[in-house]
Amino acid sequence: MEETEFSATGVRIERWARSLTRAGQVIVKDGRVALLNSYGREIDSAPAGAVRACRPWFAGVDSTVARVNGTWYRLTMGQHDRGPAPAGLSRRFLEALRSAGGQPGREAGPAGRG
Tens-binned pLDDT, residue by residue, of the chain (114 aa): 456 689 999 999 999 889 999 999 999 999 999 999 999 999 999 999 999 999 887 777 788 999 999 999 999 987 555 555 565 788 889 889 988 873 323 333 334 434
Number of CB atoms found within 10 A of residue 1's CB: 5
In angstroms, the first-to-last Cα distance of the chain is 28
Q: Which of 38, 33, 16, 103 is nearest to 68 (CA)?
A: 33
- Do the Cβ atoms of 38 and 23 come closer than 8 Å? yes
The sign of the CA dihedral 107, 46, 48, 55 is positive
3-state secondary structure of 91: helix
Query: What's the CA gap between 104 and 9, in Å, rounded?
Result: 28
Number of CB atoms found within 10 A of residue 113's CB: 11
